Structures are given as C-alpha cells and as structure tokens.
Structure 1
Amino acid sequence: MKNYLTASISESAVRHNMAQLRRLIGPGVKLCPVVKDDCFGHGMDVLYPVLAELTDGFAVAAPLEALALRGKGYHGFILCFLSAYFDDFKIQDELVWQEITQTVMSTSALESIQAAARRVGKTARVHLKVDTGMGRLGVPARQAVALIEQINAADEVELTGIYTHFATADEAERSATFRQLELFRSIVAVAGGITRHAANSAATLDLPETHFDMVRPGIAVYGCHPSDHLTSTVELRPCMSVKAKLIAVKRIPAGGYSGYGLTHRYDRDSRVGVVPIGYGDGYFRNLSNKAVVRINGMDAPVRGRVSMDQMTVDVTDIPDVKVGDDVEVISSDPTAPNCVENLARLAGTIPYEITCHLGHNMRHELVD
C-alpha cells in the first residue's frame, strides 16, 4: 500500500445508489450486493459498516472473502459463488460452521459440502447455480432437475436457493438474455419454494422481470453503469475518487520528450509534472497520451508512456503548480474527463476493470 495514493469513498454516494436500487426492486425483493474483489476495488474495510446497514446479505466470490465478512461480525446471509472443494478441509468445515451459503453446481461439489457438514455436525445451506447460457460455471440446464433431486435427498444439506447469471444483460440486444430467463423459469418451476435470483447490475436496472426474490447488483452499488445505454435508467453516483501528490515539476524545452520510448514530443517549452502512480498501481499503460488528471481544478494531459509507478503530465497551462499539489487521478464527477467510465472508454475496457485494478495499492478512506 502506498500512503501517498488515496482512494476517497463517498458514503453518501453509496447510500444514494443503494436507495435507488431499493426503489427499483420494490419491497418484496431482497438486495444482496456483490462485494467480491474488495468491493470491486473500493475497499471492504471502509464500506462494510455502510453496506451492512443497508443490505439483506452479501455475495462474494471466494471462501476466504466470506469468512472475512464473518470476521467483521456480520451474522446475516452470505452467498459464496465458488465451491470450496479445492480448499483444505479446515476452510470447507469453517464455511459450514459459520453458516455461509455455498454454491452447488455439480455432484462433486455436493459431496464435498456434505462431507464437511458431517465433520462439523451441522446442516449446510446451499444454492444451486444453473448454466442457462453463460457457458461458464453452473450445472448444465438439462441436468439441473436431477441435481436438485440429489441435493434434496442428501443428508445434512439444505437447498435454500437457485440462481443463474446473465451473459448479455448489459447489451441493448436482449434476445439471448430472454432465452436464458425463460430457461431459468422452466427450472425454478420445479425447484419448490426456495429463493430465486438472477439479476446482476444491468438486469436490476433495466429488466424488472428478472428480479425474482433477490437481486445481486455489483458495479451499480459503487455508482458506475454497467454499459453506456443504461446511463439514463437511474441516477447513480460514482463513489470513488483517487488522489496522488505531485512529486516533481521540471521544464522541458520545445522538441524534448518524456517517458519510455519517447512517444510524446513537446512542441513548445513546457512544464512537466511527475505523478507517483503507474500500471503497477493499476493505472493502465494504454492510457498513455490519452487520459488527463486534474490539478488545481484544471486538466493536465498524460504525456509519454505510463510507467510502473509514475507518469508525466503536462502542466504548462496550469499556473502556480508546485511539488506537493494534489493530483486528482480519478474524479467522482461522472461528467469529468477523468471519471471511471471515461477512463474505461479510453482504455477500451469496462469500469469494473478500472476500479478493481486501482484498488489494491492505495489507502482507502470513507468521506462525507
């Protein structure tokens, strides 16, 4: 962690986003935010007290993420997306003992969870994941009913939910999503009175027919829209801003260069600032010569290649720039040129990747 890199997380923005999601899903649907990968890089340590107050449960990717939530004192519903049968027995047993709901997607996963339940002498609660067209994890749809019957017949294991995941809910063309939805409906019709869930951020925002009993929004909780065509569906407020300090200011004459490969030539006498952030900190190298940062409220273009732990910016047109000035690397203003969504466009990626990469090497603080 680098103390001179700070991610400020707005509590009011997160509360606003959660309220917007609550309004969309209505009172009968549970809200279970996805907090995997350290809340998509936003910092579980600072966000946990806020989210724990506002949520009906948490969804995580890995067993250790689930156990970490229990370690923070959370006693409510936790869904772990990945089965633990590749982990050692101690972790498998702890998941059952700590009453963490695990995902079953195969007979081998069921057998592993059942064995752990027997070792600790406690019933394991599970949700069945069905692959309805994502082509990734989940029991194939044609085998789902048989696996439901196996789970219901298993000792020490209780089936409490069933879910699927959409491959294209964030796209304007919805035919594939509706095919997945219809297939899921045909399976849950025979699953009995258990919790049904399917909606990710995009489906939560734009497809109310997918809400069922619970939704699992991810990036929307943190204020980013999952795709451009959904930006008008609901007002979300980005909660993260990232700041660094200017560590050097130097003059480069017209015709000079900065950075590896000498990819930017200055066509005038210029002042160049050095910012201590780079691709090792999650700031993408392919933002070189494309992105801007803000210093004293003014744009400073990134010039030259982004290095592992520093980059150079043109501060020629910003008066009174000095070492120690704050550098706004990422703005929480969704209209700013250095907001997460615009940086994702420049980098040819998605907001999820920007925030997840940036979160790991900096200090997080909760503000307002």
Structure 2
Amino acid sequence: MDDRTIDWERERAWVEIDRSALAHNVRQIRSLLAPNTQIMAVVKADGYGHGAIEIALTLISQGVEWLTVATITEGIELRTAGIVAPILILGAANSHIQIEAILTWQLQPTLCTIAQAILLSKTIANFEPPVPISVHLKLDTGMSRLGANWQQAAAFYGEVANLPYLQIGSLYSHLATADDLDPTVMELQIDRFDRAQAAIIDAGYELPPRHLANSAGIMVTDRVHYQLVRPGLSLYGLYPAPHLKSAIDLQPVMSVKARISQIKAITTGTGVSYGYRFIADRDMPIAIVEIGYADGIPRRLSDLMQVAIRGRLVPQIGTITMDRIVIDITQIPDLQVGEIVTILGRDGTVEITADDWATALGTISWEILCGFKHRLPRVNGN
C-alpha cells in the first residue's frame, strides 16, 4: 500500500457496517407486526458492537419509533449525538445522581420497585421547575432478574400512579426462553403478564402500552406483540435460534476484515506462534494478518477458525495473539502483502458468521458481536 493513498480507517483491521442490511432487517421485522405496533430497537452494548450512534441514526431513518439501552451512560451518548427519539433505560436507577442525569438528558427510566419510584418523585420535586417524567414499569414474570413480582402488579402500578410527577409510559416484562423449541415457560410468562394486566384493570386503572417480545418472541407468536416490540439480535441480522430461520429473511449487518502484513515460507517441523500448538507437517506458505484477541477474536478459537480470501476459505493456524493471527495460504500461494482477509462476513460464495464462531466455542452469537473492540474503526460497508 502506498502511504500517499492509504485509507487509514482500513490500514490494518476494521468492522464494516452494512446499513442497507440493517434497513432490510427492519422491514422484515415490520412484516410480522400489526400496523399499530411500534419498534423499540435495542441498541445497548454499543449497538451489539456495531456502533450505537450510527445504528440508531439508521434505525430512526427507517421509521423506528423508540430506542432502548442498558445504562444511563449509553443514553447520554445517543443524546450527545443529537438523537431526540424517546430512549428507554432498561437498567435500574437507585441514586439521586443517576436520576438527575436521567432528567437532564430527557431519558425514560425503568422502575422495578416502589422505593425507586419514591426516590424519583422526590428528586423531581427538588428541580425548579419540577417536570413530570414518563416511567416504564417492569414486571418479573419468570426471568428472575429486574422487575416487580407480577403478582403484585396492581399494587405496584397503583402506588406509582399516585406519586406526583410520574407518568406511566409502559408496562413490560422479558421472556427467558422464547428461543426454545419447548414453549412451556414462554406460555407461562405470557399468562402471568396477561394476568398482571387484568389485575391492573380490575384495580380501576387504564393500561398503558405494553411490551414483552424480544427478537425470538416477535418471530414465535403475535400474541406477545402488544403495542411495542423490542428486537435486538434480529436487527443485526442474526437469528436467536436455528429453528427460527424460516420466520423472516435477515441479513448480517457486520463484517470484520483485516490486511495481510507479511508472507513467508516455513519448513517441515517449524513451530507457529506462542506455545507451538501448531507445528508444520510440511513445507508451507503462511501469511500474518493484522488482527488478534485485543480486537475481539476469542483466543479460544486458535486452530478452530477459518478466514476468507479471494472467495476461498483458508485455516488459521497456531495460537491467536493479541494483535495478529497466522493463516495457512497453501491453497492461494500468490497472495500479496496488503490483501484484504475477511474474518467475519461474506467473500464471494463463502461466508463466515458469528454463529459459526459461537458454535465452535459453545457460546452465543450475541457475545461474539459484542466482543469486537473499539480500536477497530466502524466504517460504511454499503
């Protein structure tokens, strides 16, 4: 590569984000929904590693009505970028400082306990002038994480509704097993959520918008679509489970690429990388690629992964190091320094997916996507 013409965002390794694929996925998700059901897009964890700001801007351009994040800091990042769409914070706020940040940045908090609601109301009262805020009540219907017990839904709802400055914006819960083939637990959670709603109505309150469906729930049954849905993984083009692949057509949004920095030949018996976990059983050409575990390739993938070059798959060999991997280029001996290697994504007719890595490691694709570090620039892959 000539230093005078080098693309510095792509000089070593990078993540490509295909906004057209993201827009396609939004359309596919909407195809399953009733016209009045809105999308609350999950862009936490930096948009599942894709870059939360650019992802959020693209989603909004596609008519997505809501955004949701895990932390107040994530919400502030979006507001700082000029995003004005409503933002739900999924995590709990338990201090004055957290609440003041929520109010300052016009975020919408989740309430899981009456103590949180009282603290929020009292904090708002100290603002001049006090400004009412939209709050979202979370019920625990079987996830056993955040949320009020679903059996106390009516009492919880009533206490919050009677506090000054709090306007109930939605009622929600979270499905624990929507991606399972066995629907037993999901059906139990749906029943509990519906019974909680009935109890609130019986107590004389009008229900706000409700949401329960994650990506899997959206695909499994329209019974959980209610007025809002919360897609996460499906927005980014991956399926929560193999049996859901026929529900809609999704396109991966992320590709990861890197360049070859050196090519050399090694002889039979030569060890490769730390620990010599790979020793050449023949004379062979190898290439060094500028990406490693500090960028997000799990070290446990050593000797288990392939990369794509010129539309062909070639094996990674030896221990994955902090900044580099080594590949066996026997099948393509005429490669040149500076050529692009596809780490994740499509190259011609071959494709390497986050699901491939997750299967090899016994984990989930969510973890793979979120693992790519910020020293990899996020660039437009359209």
Deviations 1:43-83 (A, max 9, x none): 12332321112201101100111122222222222111012
Deviations 1:321-348 (A, max 9, x none): 1221111111147984522221211121
- For 1:106, the equivalent position in structure 2 comes to 113
2:272 is the counterpart of 1:258? yes
- For 2:141, the equivalent position in structure 1 comes to 132
Residue pair 2:309, 2:347 contacting (<8 A) in 1 also: no
- For 1:34, the equivalent position in structure 2 comes to 42
* Cα distance in structure 1, aligned partners of 2:78 and 2:214: 21
Residue pair 1:273, 1:315 contacting (<8 A) in 2 also: yes
The 5 Å alignment of 1:102-251 reads: 102-120=109-127, 121-191=130-200, 192-251=206-265
- For 1:296, the equivalent position in structure 2 comes to 310
2:59 is the counterpart of 1:45? no
Deviations 1:261-319 (A, max 9, x none): 21122221111111122222110111111110112222120111111221111111113
* Cα distance in structure 2, aligned partners of 1:337 and 1:347: 18
- For 1:11, the equivalent position in structure 2 comes to 19
- Letter matched to residue 309 of structure 2: I
SS of 2:131's equivalent? coil
* Cα distance in structure 2, aligned partners of 1:106 and 1:139: 6
* Cα distance in structure 2, aligned partners of 1:239 and 1:74: 21
- Letter matched to residue 156 of structure 2: L
* Cα distance in structure 1, aligned partners of 2:349 and 2:297: 20
Deviations 1:13-41 (A, max 9, x none): 01100000111112110011100011000
Residue pair 2:135, 2:167 contacting (<8 A) in 1 also: yes
1:65 to 74, 83, 88: 74
- Letter matched to residue 254 of structure 1: T
**TM-score with structure 1 length normalisation?**
0.95
Residue pair 1:244, 1:329 contacting (<8 A) in 2 also: yes
* Cα distance in structure 1, aligned partners of 2:38 and 2:373: 28
- Letter matched to residue 157 of structure 2: I
2:360 to 346, 354, 362: 346
* Cα distance in structure 2, aligned partners of 1:301 and 1:268: 15
Of all paired residues, the percent bearing the same amino acid is: 32
* Cα distance in structure 1, aligned partners of 2:119 and 2:338: 55
Residue pair 1:239, 1:332 contacting (<8 A) in 2 also: no
Residue pair 2:72, 2:101 contacting (<8 A) in 1 also: no
Residue pair 2:174, 2:214 contacting (<8 A) in 1 also: yes
* Structure 1, unaligned runs of 5 or more: none
SS of 2:83's equivalent? coil
SS of 2:294's equivalent? helix
* Cα distance in structure 2, aligned partners of 1:333 and 1:25: 33
Residue pair 1:60, 1:81 contacting (<8 A) in 2 also: yes
2:280 is the counterpart of 1:272? no
SS of 1:58's equivalent? strand
- Letter matched to residue 13 of structure 1: A
1:84 to 93, 116, 128: 93
2:348 is the counterpart of 1:323? no
SS of 1:24's equivalent? coil
Residue pair 2:178, 2:216 contacting (<8 A) in 1 also: yes
- For 1:96, the equivalent position in structure 2 comes to 103
Residue pair 2:311, 2:347 contacting (<8 A) in 1 also: no
- For 1:357, the equivalent position in structure 2 comes to 371
SS of 1:82's equivalent? strand
Residue pair 2:214, 2:232 contacting (<8 A) in 1 also: yes
SS of 1:193's equivalent? coil
Residue pair 1:133, 1:167 contacting (<8 A) in 2 also: yes
- For 2:6, the equivalent position in structure 1 comes to none
- For 2:4, the equivalent position in structure 1 comes to none
In 2 relative to 1, CA 3–196 (structure 1 residues): closer, same or farther, beyond 3 Å?
farther
